C-alpha cells in the first residue's frame, strides 16, 4: 500500500480498521465498528447527555490524557490532544482573573478599590467571553439542526481498543466522545446508515435530510449520494459562521463587562451576607419609623440589573464615539450571526446539489480502477 505522503504506523492501521467498519470479508471481525451515535440519548436527555460528555472530557483532560502524554504513551492520540485544549483555556482564564485581582489585596485602600473595580471587570470579561463564545454558536447551529436535522454537535461514543503498554497485555479499552460531523473531510456518514433512530431504511437519515432540503421524493432513490455533499456544504458554512460570530460575541461580552455598573458589584458571598444583615437591621428600623426603603436585591437580581445597565451603557453610551464603537461591535456579532443563518438556511442555487453529486463521479467510470 502506498500513500500520497508519509506512512502510517502500526497503531494507525489498527485504529483505521476500528473506525471504518468491517474488514474486507463479511465475516464478523473482532474489530467490528462499535461506535454508537448518541442521537436518541441526546434527544431524550439533552442536558444530562451534554453534562456526561463534558464531564468525561474535562476530567480526562486534567488527569488521564496529560498522564498518557507525559509518559509518551503509544496510545495517545489527536482526540486526547484536542481535548486537553480545555486545560489552557480554563487555566488561562483563571490566570487572567488572578493577574488583575490577586495582588490588589496587598494594596492600600484607594489603590485596592481602584484595582478591584478593574479586577471585577476583567474577571467578568473572562466569564462573558466564554459564555458569549459558547452560546452564540447555538444561534446558528440550532436553526440548522431544526431546519435540516443536521446537528453539527451530534455526538457518538467511540470505543478504542488500545495497544498493550509496558507489559500490560489486558484488553485496554478507552471511550471517546466525538462528533459525527467534527471532520468535514471525513464525516462519519457510516453512523447514519441503517440507523433505526431515523427510520427503518438504510438511507432513512439521508432521505429525511433530503426532504427537509426540499428535494423531491423521486430524486431520493440514492438519497445518501445526493444529500451527503449538501450536508457537507451546510456543515462547513455552519462551522464557518458559528466560529466567526462566536469571537465577535465573545468580544461583545467583554465590552459589556467593561462598563461602570459592574464596579460596585459585591461578589464575595461573606460580604453579601453581611450587607444583607445590615440591610435587615436598617429595614426593621425603617419599618418602625414608617419609612419606605428600597428592597434588597439578591445576587441574581443585582447581577441582572447591572447586566441590563451595562448593556445599555455599552450600546447607548452618552459619548457618541463610544456609542458608535459599542454598536459596531454588537452589529458585527449580530450581523455575522444573521449572515450565518441566511447562508445556511437559504439555498439560492439548488442545482449546486446536483453539481456536488456530479463531482463525486469525476473518475472515468469506463476505466478499471486499481490502487497500486
Answer for which of 158, 226, 239, 306 binds other proteins (CB under 8 A) is 239
Q: Shortest gap between Cβ of 246 and other proteins (angstroms)?
A: 7
SS3 78: helix
Q: Give the count of beta carbons closer than 10 Å to the beta carbon of residue 330.
A: 19
Find the part of the chain contacting other proteins (CB under 8 A) among 33-41, 199-207, 234-242, 302-310. 234-242
How many Cα atoms are found within 13 Å in the side-chain-facing hemisphere of 61?
A: 19
Q: Which H or E run includes 175?
A: strand 172-179
Alpha helices in the chain (DSSP H): 10-19, 39-44, 46-62, 64-71, 78-83, 86-101, 109-148, 204-212, 223-257, 269-289, 299-315, 320-345, 351-359
Nearer Cβ to other proteins (95/308): 95
First to last CA, the chain: 7
Residue 246 binding other proteins, by CB under 8 A = yes
x-or-dash pattern for other proteins, window 169-198, by CB under 8 A?
Answer: --------------xxxx--x---------
Nearest to 126 by CA among 262, 314, 10: 262
Using rule CB under 8 A, residue 294 touches other proteins: no
Q: How far is the CB of 316 from other proteins (least distance, A)?
A: 14
Give min distance, CB of 94 to other proteins, in A.
8
C-alpha cell at 307: 447586566
**Contact pick of 22, 46, 54, 107 for other proteins (by CB under 8 A):** 107
Binder of other proteins out of 60, 210, 329, 341 (CB under 8 A) = 329
Contact (CB, 8 A) for 18 and 30: no
Please count the residues of this chain forming the interface with other proteins, following the rule CB under 8 A. 89
Residue 334 CA neighbour count, 13 Å, CB half: 7
Residue 159 lies near other proteins (rule: CB under 8 A): no
Cβ of residue 220: shortest distance to other proteins, in angstroms?
A: 20
Backbone angles phi, psi at 139, to 5 degrees: -65, -20
Nearer to other proteins, 87 or 338 (CB): 87
Q: Smallest distance, Å, CB 170 to other proteins?
A: 17
Identify which of residues 47 and 362 has a Cβ nearer to other proteins in the complex: 362
247/279 with CB nearer other proteins: 247
Four-residue CA torsion sign, 172, 174, 180, 186 = negative
Residue 50: CB atoms within 10 A of its CB come to: 13
Residue 8 contacts residue 77 (beta carbons within 8 Å): no
Q: Residue 92 or 199: which CB sits closer to other proteins?
A: 92
CB-CB neighbours of 276 under 10 Å: 12
**Which residues 123-142 are close enough to bind other proteins by CB under 8 A?**
none
Identified binder of other proteins from the candidate list 111, 146, 266, 308, rule CB under 8 A: 111
Q: Which is nearer to other proteins, 6 or 290 (CB)?
A: 6
Nearer to other proteins, 44 or 369 (CB): 369
Choice from 31, 283, 332, 345 touching other proteins (CB under 8 A): 332
- Smallest CA-to-CA distance from 234 within 128, 317, 314, 343 is with 343
- Please report whether residue 3 would count as binding other proteins according to CB under 8 A: yes
Q: Is 91 helix (H, G, I), strand (E, B) or coil?
A: helix
Nearer to other proteins, 204 or 242 (CB): 242
Residue 151 gets which letter from DSSP?
A: -
Site string for other proteins, 62-101 (x = CB under 8 A): ---xx-xxxxxxx-xxx--x--xx-xxxxxxxxxx--x--
Q: Segment near other proteins (CB under 8 A), from 41-49, 51-59, 245-253, 276-284?
A: 245-253
Amino acid at each position: 500500500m502506498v500513500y500520497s505522503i508519509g506512512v502510517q504506523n502500526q497503531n494507525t492501521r489498527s485504529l483505521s480498521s476500528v473506525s471504518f467498519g468491517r474488514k474486507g470479508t463479511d465475516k464478523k471481525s473482532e474489530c467490528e465498528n462499535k461506535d454508537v451515535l448518541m442521537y436518541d440519548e441526546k434527544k431524550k436527555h439533552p442536558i444530562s447527555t451534554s453534562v456526561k460528555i463534558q464531564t468525561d472530557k474535562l476530567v480526562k483532560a486534567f488527569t488521564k490524557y496529560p498522564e498518557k502524554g507525559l509518559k509518551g504513551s503509544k496510545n495517545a492520540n489527536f482526540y486526547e490532544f484536542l481535548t486537553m485544549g480545555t486545560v489552557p483555556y480554563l487555566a488561562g482564564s483563571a490566570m487572567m482573573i488572578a493577574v488583575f485581582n490577586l495582588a490588589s489585596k496587598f494594596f492600600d485602600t484607594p489603590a485596592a478599590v481602584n484595582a478591584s473595580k478593574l479586577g471585577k471587570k476583567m474577571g467578568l470579561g473572562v466569564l462573558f467571553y466564554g459564555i458569549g463564545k459558547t452560546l452564540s454558536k447555538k444561534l446558528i447551529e440550532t436553526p440548522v439542526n431544526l431546519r435540516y436535522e443536521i446537528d453539527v454537535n451530534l455526538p457518538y461514543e467511540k470505543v478504542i481498543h488500545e495497544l498493550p503498554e509496558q507489559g500490560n497485555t489486558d484488553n485496554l479499552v478507552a471511550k471517546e466522545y466525538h462528533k459525527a460531523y467534527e471532520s468535514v473531510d471525513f464525516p462519519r456518514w457510516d453512523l447514519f446508515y441503517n440507523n433505526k433512530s431515523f427510520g427503518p431504511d438504510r438511507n432513512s437519515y439521508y432521505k429525511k435530510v433530503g426532504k427537509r432540503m426540499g428535494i423531491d421524493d423521486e430524486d431520493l432513490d440514492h438519497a445518501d449520494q445526493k444529500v451527503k455533499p449538501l450536508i457537507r456544504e451546510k456543515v462547513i458554512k455552519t462551522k464557518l459562521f458559528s466560529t466567526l460570530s462566536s469571537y465577535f460575541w465573545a468580544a461583545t461580552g467583554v465590552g459589556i463587562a467593561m462598563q461602570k455598573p459592574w464596579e460596585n458589584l459585591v461578589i464575595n458571598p461573606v460580604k453579601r451576607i453581611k450587607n444583607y444583615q445590615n440591610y435587615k437591621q436598617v429595614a426593621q428600623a425603617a419599618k418602625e419609623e414608617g419609612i419606605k426603603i428600597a428592597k434588597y436585591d439578591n445576587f441574581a437580581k443585582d447581577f441582572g440589573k447591572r447586566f441590563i445597565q451595562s448593556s445599555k451603557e455599552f450600546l447607548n453610551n452618552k459619548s457618541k464615539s463610544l456609542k458608535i464603537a459599542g454598536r459596531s461591535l454588537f452589529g458585527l456579532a449580530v450581523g455575522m450571526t444573521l449572515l450565518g443563518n441566511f447562508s445556511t438556511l437559504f439555498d439560492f442555487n439548488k442545482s449546486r446539489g446536483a453539481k456536488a453529486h456530479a463531482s463525486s463521479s469525476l473518475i472515468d467510470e469506463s476505466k478499471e480502477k486499481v490502487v497500486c
